[in-house]
Each structure stands twice: as structure tokens, then as C-alpha cells.
């Protein structure tokens, strides 16, 4: 099976974070979000991956290259004009279906970190081969705010999507399995896979199945508070079966001054420098080659790679351009590790 990671969005809701980097490259626990998606796919045996590019696309290409370092074969689909989710898939069909066999493929939003059981998803789709697609959904209390999905069983007990963007108790996660021949039914040019695809097809009687992802870890990163919350979640309790790298602790190449105090949970990336009397954590990520100056305190915050931190950085993201405050109400969804000093700290 091939897969596509949709990565061409403009990242406008992220404010200054999206100005600096495309959303799929925001570092979570010092690893770009897009690498989580690639690791998830490769971990399930999917190595042929297409990534579409638009906003700062050259940065994505520079970060991932041909994918060989991650065990993948990555191809890129350039979009001079943003084509939305459906239009992007349609443009990429020569890469997703190079042999014209109309084999199913998986589409996933590149802004996700998702511990999805892709093997179970594929098996569910193959048991239901006549549907237009299989949408991965999650049951959430605020489904309407996400664009509610109405899921009901059919006569044989199979979960069916009956409506989208109306009433319902599920949200669409941004992952689905479909076929090239289905995508070709979309209008040419800019098209949303939901609004110009699945929604009108369902209302005309088309069959779309639903796959409930259950309670596995899921986060999308469209808002600054979700981005910080994701870092705090994963540094506190890494809950991914296919992580793209270490998500907590001190990298062996980092330098931590003997008088610095590290409080769990934290991640200190390669080549980072933690100065004298600095306090890092609880809930802190210091990126690769970042500098935390003497006496600095980092708590519930992310310091981007190569950034320099000084003073007190709390409930914030420190980018190359400065501190971006995040509402203090952001809380990780999983309990943090004990807040005592790390064993090698004072």
C-alpha cells in the first residue's frame, strides 16, 4: 500500500509559529511532526509515501530528503496553487497509482501525531471493498466543534458514515483509505475531500465506512495551545508504538552543567547546552543545539532547536524570533512523571 501525507497547508492559525515553519515541521519533543507520520507508516510496512508541498515546501524537502534514512521512499507533489485535501490527492494520483491498478491507498494529514493501528484499519477496509472509502473517526464529547460525523450500523452491523458536518458523536481524524478511481470523481482544481467528495457522495446514496480509532494517542497541531500540549503530553508519557526517536531524557551529546537542575519530565536534544544554575522542567523540551543560559528557568515550555533561552520561560514556546506565550490553562492529558530532580542533577 502507498500513502500520502498532506502537508501543503498555510499554518495560519498558528500565528508566529506558523510564520517560522510549516505546521508539519513544528518540533514535538525536538522531532518534526512529519517524522512521526513517516515513522508510523514505516512501522506498519508502508514505505512508498507521497508528500504534497506548498507553504515553505523547500523546508520539508530539506528535512526528509528521499526518506531513505527513515526506511521510506518519499516522493513529492508540488502545488503552486493550494489545492486543498481532495485536489492535492487528485494531483498526486500518478505517484499514488503509478501502475494504474486502482489499489487502495491511505491519506493522512501531515499535522497529526497519531498512534493509529494501521494494520487493523487496512484489514477493516479490505473486508468492505465496495465502499468509497473508510474514514478513521474518534468519539469525542465536542464532536460538533470538529465537524461532527454521524456513524450508524448498517443491516449487517458494519459501521457506516451517514452524515458529515451535521449531527453526530464522532470526529474525522484526517485519515482515510480510498482508491484512485474514487478520487478521480472529484472536480478538477481545488477540492475538499469531505465537502466536494464524501459528503455529496453519501447524500446521493454512496457507502462510506467508519473505523473507530479508539482511545489511542491523537493530537493535531493547528493551534498554539494544542502544539504546546502535545509536547507536554509526550514528554510526560510517550504513548506511541512507533516513535521516530527518543522523546524524553538527555541526549548523550548534550552538555548539562553540574549545577543545573533537571526536573522530570523533560527532553534535552542533541548538542543542547544547559548553563549553570539553570532549572529545566517539569514539562520542558530543549531542542537540538539550543542554549539555556545560566540561571534560566524553563517550565511547561518548548525551546526550539538553535534558540537561546534566558530568564524565565514558562507556558510558552521560544522560537528563533522570541517567546510566544501560550495560555497557562493548557494541561497535558496524561499525568506527568514525578517532579523530583533527575538522578544526575543537583
> Burial level of 188, CB count in 10 A (0-12/13-18/19+)?
exposed
Taking residue 261's Cβ as centre, other Cβ atoms within 10 Å add up to 18
C-alpha 77/C-alpha 47 separation (Å) is 16
What's the half-sphere exposure (Cβ side, CA atoms, 13 Å) at 163?
A: 9
Q: Supply the pLDDT for residue 55.
A: 84
As assigned by CATH, the class of the 2-220 domain is alpha beta
- Smallest Cα–Cα separation from 250: which of 288, 218, 302, 195? 288
C-alpha 241/C-alpha 116 separation (Å) is 9
Instruction: Kindly give the parts of the chain with pLDDT less than 70.
Output: 328-346
C-alpha 232/C-alpha 303 separation (Å) is 12
Give the residue range(s) of CATH 3.90.550.10 domains in the chain: 2-220
pTM of the predicted model over 0.85: yes
C-alpha 37/C-alpha 57 separation (Å) is 17
Query: What residues contact residue 101 under an 8 Å CB cut-off, 6+ apart?
Result: none
For helices 33-43 and 57-64, the axis angle rounded to 10 degrees is 50
C-alpha 216/C-alpha 224 separation (Å) is 22
What's the half-sphere exposure (Cβ side, CA atoms, 13 Å) at 191?
A: 19
C-alpha 292/C-alpha 255 separation (Å) is 10
C-alpha 92/C-alpha 244 separation (Å) is 25
Q: Supply the pLDDT for residue 328.
A: 63
Amino acid at each position: 500500500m502507498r500513502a500520502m501525507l498532506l502537508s501543503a497547508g498555510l499554518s495560519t492559525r498558528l500565528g508566529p509559529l506558523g510564520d517560522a515553519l510549516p505546521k508539519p515541521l513544528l518540533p514535538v519533543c525536538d522531532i518534526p511532526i512529519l517524522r512521526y507520520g513517516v515513522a508510523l507508516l514505516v512501522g506498519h510496512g508502508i514505505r512508498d509515501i507521497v508528500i504534497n508541498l506548498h507553504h515553505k515546501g523547500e523546508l520539508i524537502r530539506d528535512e526528509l530528503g528521499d526518506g531513505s534514512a527513515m526506511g521510506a521512499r518519499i516522493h513529492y507533489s508540488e502545488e503552486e496553487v493550494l489545492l486543498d485535501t481532495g485536489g492535492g490527492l487528485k494531483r498526486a494520483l500518478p505517484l499514488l497509482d503509478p501502475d494504474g491498478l486502482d489499489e487502495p491507498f491511505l491519506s493522512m494529514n501531515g499535522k497529526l501525531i497519531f498512534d493509529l493501528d494501521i494494520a487493523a484499519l487496512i484489514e477493516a477496509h479490505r473486508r468492505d471493498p465496495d465502499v468509497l472509502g473508510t474514514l478513521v473517526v474518534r468519539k469525542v464529547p465536542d464532536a460538533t466543534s470538529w465537524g461532527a460525523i454521524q456513524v450508524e450500523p448498517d443491516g449487517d452491523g458494519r459501521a457506516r458514515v451517514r452524515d458529515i458536518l451535521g449531527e453526530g458523536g464522532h470526529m474525522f481524524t484526517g485519515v482515510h483509505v480510498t482508491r484512485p478511481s474514487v478520487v478521480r470523481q472529484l472536480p478538477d482544481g481545488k477540492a475538499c475531500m469531505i465537502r466536494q467528495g464524501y459528503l455529496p457522495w453519501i447524500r446521493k446514496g454512496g457507502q462510506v465506512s467508519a473505523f473507530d480509532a479508539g482511545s489511542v494517542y491523537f493530537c493535531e497541531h493547528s493551534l498554539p495551545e494544542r502544539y504546546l500540549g502535545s509536547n507536554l503530553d509526550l514528554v510526560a508519557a510517550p504513548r506511541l508504538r512507533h516513535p521516530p526517536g527518543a522523546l524524553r531524557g538527555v541526549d548523550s551529546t548534550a552538555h548539562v552543567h553540574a549545577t543545573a537542575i533537571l526536573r522530570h519530565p523533560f527532553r534535552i536534544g542533541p548538542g543542547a547546552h544547559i548553563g549553570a544554575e539553570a532549572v529545566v522542567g517539569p514539562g520542558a523540551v530543549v531542542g537540538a543545539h539550543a542554549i539555556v543560559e545560566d540561571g534560566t528557568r524553563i517550565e511547561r515550555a518548548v525551546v526550539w532547536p538553535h534558540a537561546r533561552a534566558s530568564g524565565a520561560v514558562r507556558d510558552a514556546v521560544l522560537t528563533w524570533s522570541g517567546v510566544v506565550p501560550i495560555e497557562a490553562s493548557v494541561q497535558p492529558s496524561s499525568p506527568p512523571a514525578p517532579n523530583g530532580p533527575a538522578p544526575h542533577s543537583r
